[in-house]
Structure 1
Amino acid sequence: MKFLRYGPKGREKPALLDPEGHIRDLSNHVVDLRGDVLHPDRLRQLAGIRPETLPLVEGTPRLGPPVAGVGTIFGIGLNYRSHALETGAKPQSEPLVFSKAVTALSGPNDPIVIPRNSTKTDWECELCVIIGAKTQYVDELHALNAVAGYAVINDVSEREFQKERGGQFIKGKSCDSFAPIGPWLVTTDEIGSPQDLDLWLKVNGSQRQTGNTSDMIFSVAFLISHLSQFLTLMPGDVIATGTPSGVGMGCTPPVYLKPGDVVELGVEGLGKQRQEVVAWAASA
């Protein structure tokens, strides 16, 4: 099943996508797609509702992030062999983990805002894992039982802030609009293995990224298990699992986003995003 949230920013309503691709409102059944609602058992119950009994949402409303109440956004750096190769990095024995501020969250088609003083805003198409159950010290064999579903995320990154301004990656990963997620939360039964999904990204119609999750150094199950050894994962937590080669930083010479650019990206079975790039303004 494909779950989503629609409406103005900060006032999104829960919904699902019916087999014909129409949005059906879930507000009479759940307040929002957050907390206990994200447990895989609860999502299976919601998936059992006949879509035709739900109110039809007319038109093409704005889509927000498909999950509410996100506590932490985890990022995994250099997790694709192809991306590690293009950056000249040597794969490590454990994942490179960083975080993104939740204020970076945005809808899948909301604009990317170039932050003030930015010179190197970059793109990263990634598979996003949304946690559905409280998880601590889980082994790799059972780790996927904690997953509510999967989504597309663009791990937008300001490379100067990330790499040249000292401190940790979070400074270059957390600007407003730097974590567009969606369009949907797709439940695990529709995806099968998360380790065989195609990813792609275009900038102004030009293909920039093409990859497959089979190129991951650390699998989704490993990442969940690994993180759970150090902290408790909660429903709504998000894991951006890494990006394949083709980021702007890896081009020769490097290419970065500028106002007026259009970014399109997607992951097999999870839908696609489209973002127009705009300049930061004091009123933003």
Structure 2
Amino acid sequence: MSGETGAGFRLGCVDGRAALNRDGQWVDLAALTGAPELVDVNVALSQVDTVRQAWLECDRRADLPLVTGAVSACVPEPRQVFAVGLNYREHAAEMALAAPVAPMVFTKFASCITAPGSTVRLSGPKVDWEVELVVVIGAGGRDLKPADAWDAVAALTVGQDLSDREVQLRDTPPQFSLGKSFAGYGPLAPVAVGLDAFGNVDDIGLWCGVDGEIRQQGRTSDLFFSVPELVASLSATCELLPGDLIFTGTPAGVGAASGRYLTSGSVLVSGADEIGEFEIRFA
């Protein structure tokens, strides 16, 4: 992961502390700002203007307070994790499924979130990859309009909605949440990237590779329901809180479409424009 300067902060969590990734080094956010409450990533996301100013302050200081240690998922403890199924046109086509008339929403339980670089234990023989752009909520709120939805978002990241297809599809109707919430089944990139980094927040490229072979490539312009539409729809029912995550759907190329699944020893690489790549291994 690179740590570019300029617009678009890169926020993560190191040794349990919110930190900014600058040129590969992690800057302790609470120490930089003198605000001890900003040690908590979710609190930092609720004060996104302060995070932006801290990011710019890094250019003006030579004595940056660095933090070292284990790098967590960029949002290690979200309160709510929403996910959306069948939200890419090309994915619906590869699965021979009709276009949804409304967002197909389920939850990934927060205990499935894991750090980049983790080794994840497979729950069965049909565990599938699903690379996804993940929305990181900042201000949040209720009853948001699509036109105001981006104001509720702090940042974007990339993650995997890993899915045990046997568990997901063994019942009628299918039961999504448990099959997608085993330990480690929600890996996230090390950084959540501020919206200013993206040339077009509605057209972001993302990709996924398994054992060196690209399996998924897509762009968020292919979504049935855009990020603003998803944020507005979810906020009509649930209050969106700082640090909440929305997995926005996966493009074409999932294993279920070809009968190919992850195996012990598989290496999964997930990436997105401006965010970068991260790796997960399987046992």
Decide: shared fold, TM above 0.5.
yes
The change in CA–CA distance for 1:244 and 1:263 in structure 2 (over 3 A counts) is same
d(CA) in 1 for partners of 2:120, 2:46: 27
1:24 counterpart residue number: 27
Aligned length: 267
Q: Retained in 1: the 8 A contact 2:167–2:175?
A: no
Other structure's SS at 1:50 match: helix
Residue 165 (structure 1) shift? 3.7
Deviations 1:26-56 (A, max 9, x none): 2424222113643332322322322543223
1:282 counterpart residue number: none
Aligned: 1:219 with 2:223: no
d(CA) in 2 for partners of 1:199, 1:62: 26
Q: Retained in 1: the 8 A contact 2:144–2:236?
A: yes
d(CA) in 2 for partners of 1:192, 1:136: 28
d(CA) in 2 for partners of 1:213, 1:37: 23
- How is 1:1-284 mapped onto 2 (pairs within 5 angstroms)? 1-7=9-15, 12-18=16-22, 20-28=23-31, 29=33, 30-35=38-43, 37-50=45-58, 52-57=62-67, 61-115=69-123, 118-166=124-172, 168-251=175-258, 254-278=259-283
Q: If the length of structure 1 is used for normalisation, what is the TM-score?
A: 0.89
d(CA) in 1 for partners of 2:70, 2:222: 33
Q: Could you tell which deviates more after superposition, 75-84 or 161-170?
A: 161-170
Show structure 2 runs of 5+ residues with no match.
Answer: 1-8
Deviations 1:184-220 (A, max 9, x none): 0101111243221111111000110011111111100
Amino acid in the other structure paired with 1:71: R
Amino acid in the other structure paired with 2:63: T
Residue 168 (structure 1) shift? 2.5
Amino acid in the other structure paired with 1:214: S
d(CA) in 2 for partners of 1:39, 1:125: 28
d(CA) in 2 for partners of 1:271, 1:211: 15
Residue 111 (structure 1) shift? 1.5
Amino acid in the other structure paired with 1:25: D
d(CA) in 2 for partners of 1:270, 1:211: 15
The change in CA–CA distance for 1:49 and 1:146 in structure 2 (over 3 A counts) is same
d(CA) in 1 for partners of 2:273, 2:217: 11
Q: If the length of structure 2 is used for normalisation, what is the TM-score?
A: 0.89
Q: Retained in 1: the 8 A contact 2:140–2:239?
A: yes
Residue 68 (structure 1) shift? 4.3
Deviations 1:139-177 (A, max 9, x none): 100100001100011111111111114562101110000
d(CA) in 1 for partners of 2:84, 2:118: 23
Deviations 1:64-114 (A, max 9, x none): 111244111101000000111111110111110000010001012212221
Q: Retained in 2: the 8 A contact 1:35–1:69?
A: no
d(CA) in 2 for partners of 1:197, 1:268: 6
The structure carrying a bigger helix percent of its residues is 2
d(CA) in 2 for partners of 1:242, 1:218: 9
The change in CA–CA distance for 1:39 and 1:55 in structure 2 (over 3 A counts) is closer
Q: Retained in 2: the 8 A contact 1:40–1:146?
A: no
The change in CA–CA distance for 1:226 and 1:209 in structure 2 (over 3 A counts) is same
Give the root-mean-square deviation of aligned CA atoms. Answer: 1.6
Residue 232 (structure 1) shift? 0.8
2:6 counterpart residue number: none
Q: Retained in 2: the 8 A contact 1:63–1:109?
A: no
Q: Retained in 2: the 8 A contact 1:26–1:54?
A: no
> Would you identify which runs of 4 or more consecutive aligned residues in structure 1 move more than 4 Å?
none
